[in-house]
Amino acid sequence: MNILETDSERLLTAVRSLLERKGIISTAEVMERMASTDAASSGQGARMVAKAWVDPAYRVRMLEDGTKAAEELGIVMRGMPPLGVLESTPEVHNLVVCTLCSCYPRAVLGYPPFWYKSASFRARAVRDPRELLASEWKTVVPDDVKVRVVDSTADYRWMVLPVRPAGTDGWDEERLAGIVREGDMIGVTVPAV
Q: Which residues belong to the active site?
A: 98, 101-103
**Contact present, 27 and 52 (Cβ < 8 Å):** no
What's the rounded Cα separation, in Å, for the pair 101 and 97? Answer: 9
Distances (CA, A) of 130 to 64, 97, 141, 183, 189: 27, 14, 7, 15, 12
One-letter amino acid for residue 113 of the chain: P
What's the rounded Cα separation, in Å, for the pair 50 and 173? Answer: 5
> HSE (CB half, 13 Å, CA atoms) of 158?
21
